[in-house]
């Protein structure tokens, strides 16, 4: 009886431990599921951030290419402006030199030419006068040529100035475009920095969650193994208790049978000696016992 009580206590303890281990295992498995769901959500966010980073990097690369092209165009514009300026100043210099050679305005030179023509027609002819007028006519024509060259150079200078103005206008546009690209690049760099920082934090969180999930899974597996060990031990103890109960029951039945046999023998002895039996003692006798008594 004492052994059976000890076994019953051990079984009760094991049943309690098995229940606790099942609860612990199920709780850990539930935690693993929750962590897996969090990992899936964060992985999706990480994927979105990676895509955003790729978009930003691609756009920054395109901006660098556009900026490089505009800077090359800016350098070409500056070179063109410098060359046009040089050519314009050279044309103006030639115009001033030609005007200096002319020494008078076109109106003055033409007026003098008319005067020479009138002198040729009206004044008496003389060789000295002819030579003087021819010389002065030649000089006037040289002045007209110089004035024509000056006009041509000033027109060329004006044309160059207009072309220079267009280049300077384009240069301003280029600088504005470069400024816009730089501003967009700064916005993209800030956006890229934020995305990379967010991705770094998510990766850290994912690492921690995966470690926590791995620990929880390991602890759940350990709890399940302990449960299996305890459950096997519980089955063994229950089997021992069953065998012990069966053995005790069989022993008790045997003891009762021996006791009844002894009482039946005592009742037969008393009856054979002519003694009287009680009703309970009579109930102990079998039909065969009574037949043997009658035969004797």
- Look up the pTM and report it: 0.61
**By the 8 A CB rule, do 219 and 30 touch?**
no
- d(CA 186, CA 208) in angstroms, rounded, equals 33
What DSSP state is assigned to residue 274?
Answer: T
Three-state secondary structure call for residue 105: coil
Instruction: Encode the chain (296 residues) as per-residue pLDDT tens digits.
Output: 577 788 788 888 989 999 999 999 999 999 999 999 999 999 999 999 999 999 999 999 999 999 999 999 999 999 999 999 999 999 999 998 988 887 766 667 677 777 766 666 666 666 666 676 677 777 777 877 888 888 899 999 999 999 999 999 999 999 999 999 999 999 999 999 999 999 999 999 999 999 999 999 999 999 999 999 999 988 988 888 888 777 777 777 777 777 777 777 776 676 666 666 666 665 655 545 554 554 45
For the chain, list the domains and their CATH numbers: 2-103+156-244 (1.10.287), 252-270+275-295 (no CATH)
Task: Tell which residue, 69, 54, 64, has the closest CA to residue 184.
Answer: 64
- d(CA 288, CA 296) in angstroms, rounded, equals 12
pLDDT of 37 reads 96
pLDDT of 165 reads 95
- d(CA 208, CA 39) in angstroms, rounded, equals 10
Encoding tokens for residue 249?
């029951």
pLDDT of 159 reads 95
């Amino acid at each position: 009886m004492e052994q059976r009580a000890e076994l019953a206590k051990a079984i009760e303890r094991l049943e309690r431990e098995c229940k606790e281990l099942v609860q612990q295992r199920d709780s850990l498995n539930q935690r693993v599921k929750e962590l897996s769901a969090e990992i899936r959500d964060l992985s999706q966010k990480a994927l979105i951030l990676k895509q955003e980073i790729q978009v930003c990097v691609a756009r920054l690369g395109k901006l660098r290419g556009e900026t490089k092209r505009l800077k090359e165009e800016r350098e070409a514009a500056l070179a063109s402006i410098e060359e046009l300026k040089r050519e314009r100043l050279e044309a103006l210099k030639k115009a001033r030199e030609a005007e200096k050679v002319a020494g008078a305005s076109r109106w003055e030179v033409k007026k003098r030419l008319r005067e020479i023509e009138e002198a040729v027609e009206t004044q008496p002819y003389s060789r000295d006068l002819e030579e003087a007028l021819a010389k002065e006519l030649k000089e006037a024509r040289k002045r007209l040529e110089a004035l024509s060259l000056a006009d041509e150079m000033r027109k060329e200078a004006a044309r160059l100035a207009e072309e220079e103005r267009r280049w300077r206008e384009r240069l301003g546009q280029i600088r504005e475009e470069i400024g816009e690209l730089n501003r967009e690049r700064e916005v993209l760099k800030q956006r890229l920095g934020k995305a990379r920082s967010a991705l770094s934090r998510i990766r850290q969180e994912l690492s921690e969650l995966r470690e926590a999930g791995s620990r929880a899974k390991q602890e759940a597996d350990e709890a399940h193994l302990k449960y299996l060990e305890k459950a096997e031990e519980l089955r063994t103890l229950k089997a021992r208790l069953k065998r012990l109960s069966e053995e005790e029951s069989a022993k008790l039945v045997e003891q009762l049978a021996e006791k009844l046999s002894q009482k039946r023998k005592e009742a037969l002895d008393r009856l054979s000696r002519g003694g009287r039996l009680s009703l309970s003692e009579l109930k102990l006798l079998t039909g065969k016992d009574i037949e043997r008594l009658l035969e004797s």
